[in-house]
Amino acid sequence: MNFDRWADKDVEQMFARLDQMRVHAPGPTLFDQLEFCEHIDAVFERIELSQNPRELLLEAWLVIDYIVTYLLRDALHIPECIDSELRLIPFQFEKKIDLIKRLRDIEAKKLPNQKSYSAFELHPDFHTEVMKDKEFHRKLLQLACRFEEDRCPKEALALMRSDFERSRFVPEWWYRQMSALDDEWFQTCKHLNKARNLAAHKLKMTSDEAFKEFGVTCLADFKSILKETIERIVFRERT
């Protein structure tokens, strides 16, 4: 699937379909789980101890691929218990990275996700009935817009709409964290993926081959880049 060719309208339709499929509200995020934090600490410890560049590449790639998959799962509100719905997520690492960036950029143009603050929500079936009366529906939306201008927080909507052209589909915490990732981080991930592909097929990968993609010449700098790339996507305060 070529996500680069997706028009904004295609993304909005995907959001609408996923919203209908949602079976329960999402639970705590991956980053709130103690086991995950302990695993990341263990990864960093292995990176510190290892002297094998190939092993370091594979270790870093595996943990970032797992986190990126989870982030897409959260963005699209796919419950953890429905593994079959992971088919909605690209399999290739680089396409996952590109899709995160694409979703973030599209959602940046919208108002905050309405589920992140108090808003009135119509029962979907009732809303469907209201929409049948076009004049009444138009007046209802006009009234909601006036109310929003007078009473709502900045950049907020009073009436919750299934309108993903105006308000974000992704959770607000997701949008904030993805906005903290700059182009350099995404580019580093692409270098990591290219180096990992070589490492996966070359058991006797040399240090120079591992370092080449990252523009470094020593193991210490190589480790520093890998740890920085992981640290930036686990979104925890640094000590």
Q: Above 80 in pLDDT, residue 25?
A: no
37 alpha carbon, distance to own chain's centre: 18
pLDDT in tens, 152-199: 556 555 555 555 567 788 888 888 889 999 999 999 999 999 999 999
Amino acid 1: pLDDT: 44
pLDDT in tens, 54-102: 999 999 999 999 888 888 888 877 665 555 556 667 788 898 999 899 9
Residue 164 is classified by DSSP as T
Cα distances from 159 to residues 25, 48, 145, 166, 212, in angstroms, run: 19, 52, 8, 12, 53
3-class state of residue 36 by DSSP:
helix
Give percent of the chain above pLDDT 70: 67
The torsion of the CA quartet 23, 29, 30, 36, rounded to 10 degrees, works out to: -130
Domain residue limits, the chain:
3-21+30-110+169-234, 117-160
Name the nearest CA neighbour of 60 among 232, 235, 236.
232
Q: List residues bridging with 159 in a β-sheet.
A: 120
Cβ atoms of 192 and 61 within 8 Å: the answer is: yes
Q: Above 60 in pLDDT, residue 130?
A: yes
